[in-house]
Amino acid sequence: MKVLVIEDDQETADYIRRGLVERGHVVDCIGDGRKGLLMASADPYDVLVIDRMLPGIDGLSIVKTLRGAGTTTPILFLTTLGGVDDRVEGLNAGGDDYLVKPFAFSELMARLDALGRRPPLKEEDTVLVAGDLRMDLLARSVTRAGETIELQPREFKLLEVLLRNKGRVVTRTMLLEQVWDFHFDPKTSVVETLISRLRTKLDKPFATELIHTVRGVGYTVHDPS
């Protein structure tokens, strides 16, 4: 992926660059908001990472300008502003995701992967597959090796999110947001409990495991290698 990072804190910018380059991505970092806006308008990037508090022009204005000019590149806000309203403000301005500092690099990476690889304006898939697992979103049915599996609505949603992000890691936080619409960290094992139930129905009765835990990061589903 080609990533543009508009961040005025040099250390944070370096931290991000190092991590992304290690994983084979191309990264441009710029600390000035105006220059960043120009770069974002001029070059085609797969995803933009923009800090909200920048000298000169602030992140929110940059995003509004880009969206106003018709840029559809996915944008992730990276910021210390983690208030209840700040996130809504960021998403309303045209941001696609919002990550609060301090953050774990794995969290940033998982979210960028999800944003950057999103096929633009493609027809929504109505059938998702992984190995011998088949999920029909219209018929609301799930089968594995031909056998129908009964899922509760919440379990269905969880599987859908994992399958839509097939091959990528989905963090616990991402799951809380997308499956439960929770924007806080529950003190109990909401995610773990449901993953465990899903596994019981989906993985245990079969030979191969489809749902994998990535320690310290999240979960992933991929085709068996």
Partner 1 sequence: MAAMFATLSALAVTFVFIAVYFEIRSELYERLRVRTQSLHDTFLTVARSTGAEGLERVITDRAKAPGIDGGIYLLVRDDGHFLAGNIDPYPTFSGWSFIEPSELGAEERFEFDERFLSRWSRLPDGEMLLVGLSDDSVEEAREALVGGIVFGVVATILITAALAAWLAVKSQRRIRSIGATLEDYAQGQLDTRVALAGAEDDLDQVAARINTTLDRMEELVESLRQVSADIAHELKTPIGRLRQRLDVALAEANSVSEFRAANAQAIELIDQIVGTFEALLRIAQIESGTRRARFSRVSLNAVLSNIVEIYGPVAADAGQEILDQLTDAPCELAGDQELLTQMFANLLENAIHHCPSGSSIVVRLERNGDVAEASICDDGPGIPDHERDKVVRRLYRLEKSRSTPGTGLGLSLVQAVADLHGAPLVLGDNEPGLMASLRFRLSP
The residues binding partner 1 (CB under 8 A) are 82-85, 100, 102, 154, 180-190, 193-194, 196-197
Contact yes or no for 136/127 (Cβ under 8 A): yes
Strands (E), 68-145: 75-79, 97-100, 127-130, 133-136, 141-144
Shortest reach from residue 190's CB to partner 1, in Å: 6
Shortest reach from residue 123's CB to partner 1, in Å: 30
CA Rg value for the chain: 19
* Residue number, 72 or 193, with CB nearest to partner 1: 193
* Residue number, 46 or 86, with CB nearest to partner 1: 86
Residues contacting 35, CB < 8 A, separation 6+: none
Cα gap 52→110, rounded to integer Å: 20
* Residue number, 55 or 83, with CB nearest to partner 1: 83
Amino acid identity for residue 98 in this structure: Y
Amino acid identity for residue 54 in this structure: L
Shortest reach from residue 39's CB to partner 1, in Å: 31
* Residue number, 148 or 188, with CB nearest to partner 1: 188
Compute the C-alpha angle 153/129/146, nearest 5°: 80
Cα gap 208→45, rounded to integer Å: 37
* Residue number, 84 or 138, with CB nearest to partner 1: 84
